Amino acid sequence: MNAPQLDPGLRSSAWGAWLSLLASSSTLLCCALPALMVTLGAGAALAGLVSAIPQLIWLSLHKVWVFALAAVLLLVAGALQWQARRLPCPVEPRLAAQCARVRRVGAWVYGLALLFYLLGLSFAFILPLLDGAAS
């Protein structure tokens, strides 16, 4: 006899949260990390990083697409989180604890992904507008 499994909707919610974290991390790599390094006076370190990982230039050049894809993935992950919030957990105590843990971790990962996205968005689009307005 097979042991009961977690609800597939709950599993897809967790996967969506991890995928959105990966996508929003790319927004940090493309925009927030280089801006932070230059602000801290680490331009030479940034040049070394770009020479070691030239894909960072591609991410920066295509930042609108990177942010658009990350936004879509965040919206999908948010919808999955919302849909899974009321899914039933198994009655068996071990699986009920695992279900609660998956929900908690998924919510934290999704929140972290949103934070990363907003941080990258501010460095890529909002702060440059404020700098231009001050000039």
Q: Residue 134: pLDDT above 80?
A: no
Q: Residue 1: pLDDT above 50?
A: no
Cβ(28)–Cβ(116) under 8 Å?
Answer: yes
pLDDT in tens, 70-90: 899 899 888 888 888 888 888
pLDDT attached to residue 130: 85
Enter the DSSP assignment of 92.
Answer: S
pLDDT in tens, 89-98: 888 899 889 8
The packing angle between helices 8-27 and 93-121, to 10°, is 20
pLDDT attached to residue 135: 61
Cα 11–83–95 angle (5° rounding)? 40
Contacts of 121 by beta carbon, 8 Å cutoff, 6+ apart: 27, 67
As a whole number, the mean pLDDT across the chain is 83
CB neighbourhood size of 100 (10 A): 11
Q: Residue 106: pLDDT above 50?
A: yes
